[in-house]
Structure 1
């Protein structure tokens, strides 16, 4: 046996942090695992990362390829800027002599000749190196060489027993190119990791993985988004808000404008979500930026995720409005991240938000806008559930979240493409209205769970000193329709029917 000390930890790392989290620690050592997925899903990359982690720990590791050449594997590694030092590669591929018609079998079935030869080559390479980690790529070759499902199942079962006795952890890769569902291997394997590529009508494919089976371990079930970047697979563990529950005091965050604070009943509370809703051009993004800048001025750290507006445009606009966001960004107290909706998966955004909160200490998070968030996954049926988990997570972390929602239309009845008003703790509603041949803005607070607030509709102006909340529009009736009726004298009873 190998003189090196075998892994004694209850779990061994896969080499992918996010996958280790999904598996609640990694793989149980000395077991056989099935890694399945369609071509291009990243199975080979996952296998190489698994072996690279073993090599980093000083283990003997072996990659047995039945379909790709060593040059092809090294090209994959080079694309990730990896060196394969420490990884032993053994090719078990058909010899080019097989192209000679005289070499074709006429009496014996290939399983009677080639399967035995393949098995012998695999076992000899394992016995020569005595590795602690092995990747066999791919099972499709073994399945096609086997004469029957029974023989194939017994072959895989024999491999399982063989590697277990040698204290070796084996990953068997299946590219799912045959029609068989391969339930034989799934029933034998200690764990099954499935990689999927989901086609979208526009933008890049969405990739997600699922742990179908893992004996004796309480893994994180369900789908988890992942991506293949330069450097390997990055897995974004599905956000589960219930895991971060805690009781926190809700401090109030001032907006910086006394009239605005008064309208909101003193400001917004830490750990609450605020939806800023209204049609285009009413100042939603400006309000979100001012809320963020005001929080930073009070000693907090923030993060803003921009779906529609570029970072440069936002900073130039806030400079003109006297909102001190650029200095906060330059000092590092605010991070601004541009998001491409065509390239984003919901799990990836949740991961970015978690990183901003847990690694950078952000206590205020802005998502601008929800429409861009929706466009990132137009076919995602559970987008509201994703958002609910994200907002709950932020709330339990004591983070104030600000969501910008764009309503369809300019005047009259407004419609929200993604209605999340029931999820938000606070709802700020903005409207255009016309008066004296001029387009004006109005602001009101429709909802506030954290306490009392003013229920009147007030004038809103965007000045070089930022947003200013003006007086209540007591002489106007029907402001929310966009075409209000002006009254010479305020109708107190009409404006406040409770009096």
Structure 2
């Protein structure tokens, strides 16, 4: 493969998936973002990936000294052995002359010094950090652009892949973006509470396909990671047929035999009506059959989940020990939705997980506050999981009798193939629970309303409440004979 068509790995986990292969060798890229978005970290990861591959790599610093770069690398646990660095931060200033302005001479001096370094080392990878430090030496766009053209020409001549970090601020005419083969923009937003959210996107990329849109990003010890936006057109697999049993004959009858593989199920109801217990019953029944289940808990700790399961007589410890059940507690303030989506995709792609449980959607959506694309993101995720043959169960808490505030604005009927509704109702001076299937896209199901209770073994479903009228109102009228319920 020729240098002009070769794609090289960026060294940033997840970014090559966005780029659909990597960066094109021998071209100029701008890495843009405000201070603190991770541009220098990005550049270091790119260079150290080259060092690992035995390539000649050069970092030219214009804003930080080599000692400061070493501190950044050390904070991530990286060794910079084998990385060549050239410090232009402390270059001596030229003296003013009658013919040239001091700043123009200083710019030319630094550019020529950098070009000489490129000629001397002939690096395969080069990072210039940062263009903003050069921009202060010129307020003339044409003069500044000519000097950046020198970098691009030299990179093409030597076959060097050149990354230039820059701030996306200041006069537009001093940003020679048209010279770049590609631009990667890094951004961050602070929330009212908790850590901020980071993402990147590509305003421009020539000569290759890529995944457009915003991609969540994280910077932590070890470097920067990118979580590619899930593409809806990736969902091209054929879903396997077959029903999945809940482990309860009565519940299966209500569902028309069970739940289809490759579909999504929404379980709705007010707090305390047993939504988590219901999906746990599906999880334990699947684990007993030898199928792998992954449950992501947003609303309670794993300790609480385990204690509840043990109190109901569910063999949760044996399922965990066999690795057929994976429990993952999610803090929505710490995990971006793109990060979670990538983890769920890995569950079905790499671990062949048959059942995914999200408990609850309320918690998942807290990771996307004020995001108008919430429904689209969740829809794309469910579509992908369904196409891979996974059954996805999602719980959604609704307003309760003591909390009439408006719930989360998301249409679960649009998002899921099946909707199971749980609710309270009052009978004979006691609070009881009712269960019904409101919708099922694939196959038939009962239209009855059944009473249920939570006991040993999880959810215990009774006979249809055929002698009640008005159960959905919460204040039903009993029309049958006087006999005990569940």
- Is the Cα contact below 8 Å between 2:332 and 2:366 reproduced in 1? yes
Task: Give the corresponding residue for 1:49.
Answer: 45
The reply on whether 1:64 has 2:76 as its aligned counterpart is no
Equivalent residue, structure 1, for 2:10: 14
Q: How many Å apart are 1:66 and its aligned residue?
A: 0.3
The count of corresponding residues between Structure 1 and Structure 2 is 480
Deviates more, 1:126-135 or 1:56-65: 126-135
| 1:373 matches 2:369 | no
Q: CA RMSD in A?
A: 2.1
Which of 392, 412, 422 lines up with 1:420 in the alignment?
412
Alpha-carbon spacing, 1:488–1:320, altered in 2? closer, same or farther (3 Å): same
The match for 1:109 is 101
Q: 1:259: which partner in 2?
A: 250
In the other structure, the counterpart of 2:293 is: 302
Alpha-carbon separation, structure 1, partners of 2:243 and 2:174: 56
C-alpha distance in 1 between matches for 2:316 and 2:5: 48
Give CA deviations for 1:10-41 in whole Å, capped at 9, x if unaligned.
10010123111111100110111110001111
Aligned to 1:208: 199
Pick closer, same or farther for the CA change 1:188–1:387 going to 2, 3 Å: same
1:94-143 Cα shifts (integer Å, max 9, x gaps): 35x87xxxx98596523332112211221222222221110000101221
Structure 1: stretches of 5+ with no match in the other structure: 491-499
TM-aligned CA distance change 1:129 to 1:321, over 3 Å: same
Give the direction of change, closer, same or farther, for the CA distance of 1:348–1:183 in structure 2 (3 Å limit): farther
Aligned to 1:462: 454
Which of 80, 83, 96 aligns to 1:84? It is: 80
- Asked whether the 8 Å contact 1:412–1:481 carries over to 2, the reply is no
Q: Which moved more, 1:9-18 or 1:438-447?
A: 9-18
Deviation at 1:489, TM superposition (A): 5.3
Residue 136 of structure 2 aligns to a residue in which SS? helix
For residue 335 of structure 1, the aligned residue among 326, 351, 356 is 326
Which position in structure 2 is the counterpart of 1:435?
A: 427
TM norm structure 1: 0.92
Alignment of 1:480 onto 2:472: yes
SS of 1:46's equivalent in the other structure is helix
Aligned counterpart, 2:130 = 138
TM-score by length of 2: 0.94
Note closer, same or farther for the CA distance 1:281–1:33 as it changes in structure 2 (3 Å cut).
same
Task: Give matches, 1:102-181, under 5 Å.
Answer: 108-176=100-168, 178-181=169-172
Separation of aligned partners in 1, 2:292 and 2:368:
29
Is 320-329 or 53-62 further displaced after alignment? 320-329
Report the alpha carbon displacement of residue 163 of structure 1 after superposing the two structures with TM. Answer: 1.2
SS of equivalent to 2:371? coil
- Structure 2 residues without counterparts, runs of 5 or longer: none
Query: 1:227-271 CA deviation, whole Å, 9 max, x = no partner?
Result: 112111110010013213122332100111111111111110110
Q: 2:395 aligns with which of 384, 399, 404?
A: 404
The answer to whether the Cα contact below 8 Å between 2:145 and 2:174 also exists between their aligned partners in 1 is no
Post-superposition offset of 1:469: 0.3
* 1:271 equivalent in structure 2: 262
Q: Which of 385, 388, 413 is residue 379 of structure 2 equivalent to?
A: 388
Q: How far apart in 2 are the matches of 1:139 and 1:321?
A: 63
1:246 to 230, 237, 244: 237
Give, in whole Å, the separation in 2 of the partners of 1:410 and 1:326.
35
> Aligned partners of 2:325 and 2:97: how far apart in 1?
72
Q: Distance in 1 between matches of 2:361 and 2:178?
A: 43
Q: CA deviation at 1:6?
A: 9.7
